[in-house]
Amino acid sequence: MSTKLLKYNIYSDTKSNLINEVFKYKKVHIVSGNPEILFQGLNNDSLFQNFTADNTIIIPDGVGTVIASRIVGQPVKEKIAGIEVMEDIIKNCEEFNQGVYLVGTNEETIKKCVENLEKKYPKLKILGYHNGFFDQENCNDIIEDIKEKSPYALFVAMGAPRQENFIIKYMDELPCSIFMAVGGSFDIIAGKMNRAPKWMINMGLEWFYRVAKEPSRIKRLSSIPKFFIQVIKEK
């Protein structure tokens, strides 16, 4: 099930059905489709081609995307948070003995993230990890390590669109089945950042909480009105 939005197909079913679908793909890129990244895709050929590919699933990760789906008359069933999808994939990987690999954030944070995941999911196979501070054009050691370890799922947390560009560049080359850019999820799992309180998440105010905690993010909000203008124009 999908909603047509700005030439994208946005996943419109429930999160539980999404997880079942994800594991049917030989290779899939899960894109956290908030207004910022979707708007970036409209102005970047590489992103756009990947986001509209048959083996890409765009989830409605952001209240702005949910509202936009209502504007075009094809409302999604629910907002699907990227970090929750990541955790559900990890639970499945633990259950079915499938390995994962993490790339992103700084060394201290990714180590703490791995440590906390190992505590929460003691049977999970974390086959490797690497911080996100490297040249994507010269990272053969990382690519070869991922190939050698052959994880089922690769999670990348380097901020948009750097994390998406990394996945797009190496997706065909790497043996992983699930590729997902997860933004600040490693920081949350590591305990360096907190998600918004449940009541704010339920009211669609998680974005406000994040901006309050990280005022520098306010510059990124400028893409949201541009996104809505584009949605209304193409309605």
**3-class DSSP assignment, residue 16:** helix
Residue 216's pLDDT is 66
**90 in Cβ contact with 124 (< 8 Å):** yes
| Count of domains forming the chain | 1
pLDDT tens, position by position, 115-153: 999 999 999 999 999 999 999 999 999 999 999 999 999
Q: Which domain holds residue 140?
A: 2-234
Burial of 129: CB neighbours in 10 Å, binned 0-12, 13-18, 19+: buried
Query: Beta strands 2-5 and 8-11: pairing type?
Result: antiparallel
d(CA 205, CA 221): 14
Predicted TM-score of the model (pTM): 0.94
> Where does the pLDDT of residue 166 fall: very low under 50, low under 70, confident under 90, or very high at 90 and above?
very high
- Residues 6 or more apart from 222 whose CB is under 8 A from it? none
Radius of gyration of the chain (CA): 17
- Residues 6 or more apart from 152 whose CB is under 8 A from it? 93, 98, 99, 100, 176, 177, 178
pLDDT tens, position by position, 91-111: 999 999 999 999 999 999 999
Tokens encoding 227 = 């996104």
Q: What percent of the chain has pLDDT over 90?
A: 83
Q: How many residues does the chain have?
A: 235
